[in-house]
C-alpha cells in the first residue's frame, strides 16, 4: 500500500467515498421510512410508551430527512451521512430498552439487532466510527437503564442484551472487513488501470519507434532497389531467364548483378559483347546485410568493365581487392558466383567465391561447377586468386546461380534443411519448363517445404537458358 503513488491514493479515496456515499444515502432513505413504519409496531407492542417513542422516531426521522436532502454537502465525508442517524437511533433504542419490561425488551432487541446487521451489510467507514457508535450506545444504555429500568443486569443480558452486544461487535468486524476489502479491490483495479495506461503509453512509444524504424528500412529498400540493375535492362539482353529474389526481411543481404559489356580487343580479336551476371550473398541479412549489399553492388559495378570482362577470375580478384580496401578492418565478406557469357561464341566464364553454379544440359544431366573456397573481402592477410572456369555452351543449356538461402531453409518432415542435393534433383525435374514457370515452381517448392516455419535467410536463385 505504501508504494502506491499519490495519484492512485487520491483515486482510490475518491472512488471509496463515492461508493460509501451511494450506500449511506440508501441507508438513510430506507431508515427514514422504516423508522416511521416501526411506530405502528410500537402502538401494538408498547401502547403505554407509544407517544414518547413516537417523539423519538419523529425527531430521528427529521434528522435523517435533513441529512438526506443535504447529503451532497457531505459527499467528501460520507461517513457522517449515517453516523449521525445511527447515533440518534442508538440513543432512541437505548431509551426504549430502558423503559420496557422483560417480554417487551426481548421483542425490541430484534430492532437493535437489525440495526447492527444492516450497518454491517451496507456501511463503509473507518473502524473509529464503529467504536464511537458502540461507545455512545453503551453509554446511553447504561445511563438510561440506571435512570429508568428496574431490571437486573443478568435479566437484561438473558432477554437480549447479550445477543445484541455480540451482534454489535460482529457488525464492527463485518464493517471493517467489508471496508478493507472494498479498499483493496478499488486500489487493485485502479493500479491495474494505471498499469494498463502506462503500458498503453509505452506501446504507443514503441509503435512510434517501430514506425520510424520501418520507415527507415523502407527507405533503405528504395536505396537498395536503386542500386540493383533495372529489369528492363535484363529483359533486353536475356530472352529466357528468371530471378527468384526473396529477402528474409524487408531489405536483403543478397543482391544480383547484371550488365552487358564490350570486351577489350585482344590478340587481333575485335571487342565482343558479353553479359555479366552475379548472385551475391553478403554476411548477414536485414539492414546490416543490405548495407553490405549496397557497398558490394556499387563496387561490382565499378569492377566489371571492358578490361575485366575478358576474364571472370580477374574480375573477382579485382572485386576482392576493392572490397578489402573498402571494408578495411572488417572481416565480414561476401560469397558469390559470377558468370560472363558470350552468347555469340556460346562461351561462359565462371568464377566463384564459395558459391558454385549448376548447369543442366539435355541428355547429359546436371553438372556442378565448383567455386574457389574463399570469400570476398573476408581476409586481407594474403592475396586471393579466384580460378576462372571456361565452359563451352550449347543451345538450350540451363545455367543456375544461387546463394545458400534456398538450400539452408528448414522445413519438410522433421524440420530439416532442404540441402543442395534436393535442390539439384528438383532442377532436373523442372529444367524443361520455360524459365518463368521454373521460377513459379521453385517458389512453390520453397514455400511448401518451409510451411509454417520462419524463413531463415535471404533467397536468391537466377536461371538463364542459353
Q: Where are the domains of the chain?
A: 6-196, 228-465
Task: Determine the average pLDDT of the residues in 82-111.
Answer: 82
Task: Determine the average pLDDT of the residues in 135-153.
Answer: 87
**Cβ(458)–Cβ(403) below 8 Å:** yes
- Alpha-carbon 289 to chain mean position: 27
Q: Quick one: pLDDT band at residue 195, thresholds 50, 70, 90?
A: confident
Q: What is the CATH number of domain 228-465?
A: 3.60.40.10
- What are the CA-CA distances from residue 48 to residues 42, 51, 54, 112 (Å)? 9, 8, 11, 20
- Alpha-carbon 343 to chain mean position: 55
Q: Residues in the chain, how many?
A: 466
Q: Quick one: pLDDT band at residue 286, thresholds 50, 70, 90?
A: low
Using CA atoms, how far apart are residues 30 and 32, in angstroms rounded to an integer?
5
Contacts 24+ apart (CB under 8 A), 298-302: 298/227, 299/323, 299/326, 300/257, 301/227, 301/257, 301/259
Q: String of b and e for 367-392 (b: at least 16 CB within 10 Å)?
A: eebebbebbbbbebeeebebebbebe
Task: Determine the average pLDDT of the residues in 275-292.
Answer: 82
* This model's pTM is above 0.75: no
Which cell goes with 36?
416511521
- Angle, nearest 10°, between helix axes 162-227 and 102-122? 10
Q: How many CB atoms lie within 10 A of CB 193?
A: 12
Does the pLDDT value for residue 21 go beyond 50?
A: yes
**Cβ(282)–Cβ(253) below 8 Å:** yes
Residue that has been written with the C-alpha cell 512509444 in this structure: 205
Does the pLDDT value for residue 138 go beyond 70?
A: yes
Residue that has been written with the C-alpha cell 410508551 in this structure: 49
Phi, psi of 241 (to 5 degrees): -155, 170
Residue 381 has a pLDDT of 59
Does the pLDDT value for residue 134 go beyond 60?
A: yes
Does the pLDDT value for residue 422 go beyond 80?
A: yes
Q: Quick one: pLDDT band at residue 330, thresholds 50, 70, 90?
A: low
Highest mean pLDDT among 121-125, 218-222, 245-249: 245-249
Residue 55 has a pLDDT of 93
Residue that has been written with the C-alpha cell 466510527 in this structure: 129
Averaged confidence pLDDT in the chain: 86
Does the pLDDT value for residue 44 go beyond 50?
A: yes
Report the 3 state secondary structure along 305-327.
Answer: CCCHHHCHHHHHHHHHHHHHHHH
Element (H, E) at 67: helix 50-69
- Angle, nearest 10°, between helix axes 6-45 and 102-122? 160
Using CA atoms, how far apart are residues 99 and 410, in angstroms rounded to an integer?
94
Phi, psi of 64 (to 5 degrees): -65, -40
- Angle, nearest 10°, between helix axes 435-450 and 419-430? 140
Does the pLDDT value for residue 3 go beyond 50?
A: no
**Cβ(94)–Cβ(140) below 8 Å:** yes
- Angle, nearest 10°, between helix axes 6-45 and 50-69? 150
* Gyration radius of the chain's alpha carbons: 47
Using CA atoms, how far apart are residues 460 and 440, in angstroms rounded to an integer?
13
Phi, psi of 45 (to 5 degrees): -85, -40
Alpha helices in 228-336 (DSSP H): 231-237, 286-303, 312-327
- Angle, nearest 10°, between helix axes 6-45 and 162-227? 150
Instruction: List, in sequence order, every residue forming a beta bridge with 464; answer none if it has no partner.
Output: 241, 399
Q: What is the DSSP-derived secondary structure letter of residue 160?
A: I
Nearest to 175 by CA among 204, 213, 132: 132
Task: Determine the average pLDDT of the residues in 199-224.
Answer: 82
Of the candidate ranges 67-81, 225-239, 401-415, the one whose mean pLDDT is the lowest: 225-239
Does the pLDDT value for residue 66 go beyond 80?
A: yes
Using CA atoms, how far apart are residues 209 and 368, in angstroms rounded to an integer?
47
Amino acid at each position: 500500500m505504501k508504494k502506491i503513488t499519490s495519484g492512485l491514493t487520491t483515486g482510490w479515496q475518491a472512488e471509496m467515498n463515492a461508493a460509501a456515499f451511494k450506500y449511506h444515502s440508501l441507508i438513510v432513505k430506507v431508515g427514514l421510512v422504516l423508522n416511521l413504519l416501526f411506530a405502528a409496531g410500537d402502538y401494538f407492542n408498547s401502547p403505554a410508551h407509544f407517544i414518547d417513542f413516537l417523539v423519538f422516531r419523529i425527531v430521528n426521522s427529521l434528522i435523517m430527512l435533513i441529512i438526506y436532502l443535504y447529503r451532497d454537502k457531505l459527499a467528501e465525508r460520507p461517513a457522517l451521512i449515517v453516523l449521525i442517524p445511527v447515533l440518534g437511533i442508538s440513543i432512541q433504542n437505548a431509551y426504549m430498552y430502558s423503559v420496557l419490561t422483560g417480554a417487551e425488551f426481548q421483542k425490541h432487541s430484534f430492532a437493535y439487532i437489525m440495526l447492527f446487521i444492516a450497518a454491517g451489510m451496507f456501511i463503509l467507514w473507518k473502524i473509529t466510527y464503529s467504536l464511537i457508535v458502540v461507545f455512545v450506545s453503551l453509554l446511553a444504555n447504561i445511563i438510561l437503564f440506571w435512570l429508568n429500568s428496574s431490571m437486573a443486569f443478568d435479566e437484561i443480558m438473558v432477554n437480549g442484551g447479550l445477543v445484541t452486544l455480540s451482534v454489535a461487535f460482529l457488525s464492527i468486524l463485518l464493517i471493517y472487513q467489508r471496508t478493507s476489502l472494498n479498499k483493496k479491490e478499488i486500489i487493485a483495479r485502479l493500479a491495474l488501470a494505471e498499469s494498463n495506461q502506462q503500458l498503453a503509453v509505452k506501446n504507443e512509444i514503441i509503435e512510434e519507434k517501430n514506425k520510424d524504424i520501418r520507415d527507415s528500412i523502407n527507405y533503405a529498400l528504395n536505396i537498395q532497389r536503386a542500386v540493383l540493375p533495372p529489369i528492363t535492362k535484363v529483359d533486353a539482353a536475356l530472352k529466357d531467364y528468371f530471378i527468384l529474389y526473396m529477402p528474409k526481411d524487408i531489405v536483403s543481404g543478397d543482391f544480383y548483378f547484371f550488365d552487358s559489356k564490350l570486351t577489350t580487343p585482344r590478340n587481333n580479336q575485335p571487342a565482343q559483347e558479353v553479359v555479366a551476371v552475379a548472385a551475391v550473398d553478403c554476411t548477414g541479412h536485414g539492414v546490416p546485410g543490405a548495407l553490405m549489399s549496397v557497398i558490394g553492388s556499387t563496387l561490382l559495378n565499378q569492377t566489371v568493365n571492358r578490361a575485366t570482362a575478358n576474364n571472370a577470375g580477374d574480375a573477382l580478384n579485382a572485386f576482392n581487392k576493392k572490397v578489402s580496401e573498402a571494408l578495411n578492418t572488417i572481416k565480414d565478406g561476401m560469397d558469390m558466383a559470377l558468370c560472363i557469357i558470350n552468347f555469340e561464341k556460346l562461351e561462359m566464364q565462371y568464377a566463384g567465391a564459395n558459391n558454385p553454379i549448376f548447369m543442366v544440359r539435355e541428355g547429359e544431366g546436371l553438372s556442378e561447377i565448383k567455386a574457389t573456397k574463399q570469400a570476398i573481402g573476408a581476409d586481407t592477410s594474403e592475396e586471393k586468386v579466384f580460378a576462372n572456369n571456361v565452359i563451352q555452351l550449347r543451345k538450350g543449356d540451363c545455367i543456375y546461380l544461387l546463394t545458400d538461402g534456398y538450400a539452408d531453409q528448414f522445413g519438410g518432415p522433421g524440420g530439416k534443411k532442404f540441402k543442395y542435393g534436393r535442390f539439384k534433383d528438383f532442377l532436373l525435374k523442372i529444367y524443361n519448363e520455360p524459365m518463368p514457370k521454373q521460377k513459379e515452381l521453385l517458389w512453390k517448392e520453397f514455400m511448401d517445404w518451409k510451411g509454417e516455419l520462419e524463413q531463415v535467410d535471404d533467397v536468391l536463385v537466377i536461371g538463364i537458358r542459353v
